[in-house]
Amino acid sequence: MENYERINLDEYIQTGEGGTALTYNHKDGKALAKLFMPGVAADTAEREFKVNRVVYDMCIPTPRPIRLITDGTRFGAEYELIPNKRSFTRIISQEPEQLEPLSVLFAKLAREIHAKEADTARLPSMKELVRKEIARFNGLPDDVREMSLRTLETLPDATTCLHGDLHIGNIITDGHRNLWIDVGDFSYGCPEWDLCMIFYISEHMSEQRADNIFHLTPDMLKKHWDIFAPAYYGTTDPAELGRKQQVLYRYFALKMLFAIGKLNNGVGANMDGVFGLVRRILGS
């Protein structure tokens, strides 16, 4: 707690809402505050902030991290405010004709991240992060835990940079620069840890969540994947794309348990549907 500076929300204007946090612009026009939802632990925000600093130091384009903050209930951090910025998804929602060029550009920028070797002394392994959350997940059925950890051992290791929450809503532009945001899970490992999230979001997002988080329809997200995948993988062969897509399911099942465990460990939620999905994917 001593690392957090108390802020007065009267000095800010709410500007955005994501799956786990709200964002606010400071009225001075210089800073953006990201505050996690109530119940998200302070150390979660602190870990994200520290990783943001590493990413910024690596000269990966991302807003400059400024300080850790709290409003007394929620925890988060302040970042450099990028004037006149829009997310790629906001642009697409307002200018649907930009879906194809921005999906192609997003594939290019994703490949650039995945072509970069990570500083493994300062960044965590995604595989180890996933292992830790699965091991500590309270209420995770023994068969799901054992199946997940066994599958995890079969996945290859790599020192490739990973965004950690790679999707087209997590990149912004001011018309001159493209900057990555929400890099708190930046890590290293196989690119499939990133690609599985783009695939899932584009193929399985509900209409309400697609609108709330991405300002897009499920159909537009699906079209995004259909454009992104050939551009990223460098092939239009349906059979080859199908094989690569099939690999992503195992990564997604494990990444889903990681995401739930990281936020609230599933406490208070009916997880039977999630556990059933993991069983179906990993048991096939």
* Judgement on whether residues 122 and 236 belong to the same structural domain of the protein: yes
Assign 151 a pLDDT band (cuts: 50, 70, 90). Answer: very high
**Quick check: 198 and 168 in contact, CB under 8 A?**
yes
The pTM (predicted TM-score) of the whole model is 0.88
Domain termination residue (choose one: 50, 80, 110)? 80
- Residues 6 or more apart in contact with residue 59 via CB below 8 angstroms: none
CA distances to 5, 19, 105, 200 from 232, in Å: 41, 26, 10, 16
- How many C-beta atoms lie closer than 10 Å to residue 82's C-beta? 16
Residue whose pair of structure tokens reads 């990444």 in the numeric block? 255
- Residues 6 or more apart in contact with residue 22 via CB below 8 angstroms: 14, 16, 34, 35, 37
* Judgement on whether residues 64 and 103 belong to the same structural domain of the protein: no
Buried b (16+ CB within 10 A) or exposed e, 23-58: bbbeeeeebbbbbbbeebebebbbebbebbebbbee
Domain termination residue (choose one: 60, 80, 100)? 80
* CA 81/CA 33 separation, integer angstroms: 9
* CA 85/CA 88 separation, integer angstroms: 10
* Judgement on whether residues 69 and 197 belong to the same structural domain of the protein: no
The pLDDT of residue 41 is 83
Domain termination residue (choose one: 45, 80, 115)? 80
* Judgement on whether residues 232 and 156 belong to the same structural domain of the protein: yes
The pLDDT of residue 39 is 83
- Residue 98's domain is classified under what CATH number? 3.90.1200
* Judgement on whether residues 195 and 229 belong to the same structural domain of the protein: yes
Q: State which H helix or E strand residue 46 sits in.
A: helix 42-57
Is the model's pLDDT at 2 over the cut of 80?
A: no
* Judgement on whether residues 198 and 67 belong to the same structural domain of the protein: no
* Judgement on whether residues 108 and 232 belong to the same structural domain of the protein: yes
- Structural domains counted in the chain: 2
Span 23-72, pLDDT tens digits:
999 999 999 999 999 988 888 889 889 999 999 999 999 999 999 999 99
The pLDDT of residue 263 is 65
Structure tokens at 20: 């786990």
* Judgement on whether residues 118 and 221 belong to the same structural domain of the protein: yes
Span 62-75, pLDDT tens digits:
999 999 999 999 99
What's the longest Cα–Cα distance across the chain? 55
- Mean predicted confidence (pLDDT) in 269-284: 86
* Judgement on whether residues 189 and 113 belong to the same structural domain of the protein: yes
Assign 213 a pLDDT band (cuts: 50, 70, 90). Answer: confident
- Residue 50's domain is classified under what CATH number? 3.30.200.20
* Judgement on whether residues 140 and 265 belong to the same structural domain of the protein: yes
Buried b (16+ CB within 10 A) or exposed e, 265-284: ebeeeebeebbeebbebbee
Angle at the Cα of 269 from the Cα atoms of 267 and 273, rounded to 5 degrees: 125
The pLDDT of residue 3 is 86
Structure tokens at 174: 């001011």
Range of the domain at 238: 86-283
* Judgement on whether residues 71 and 106 belong to the same structural domain of the protein: no
* Judgement on whether residues 170 and 202 belong to the same structural domain of the protein: yes
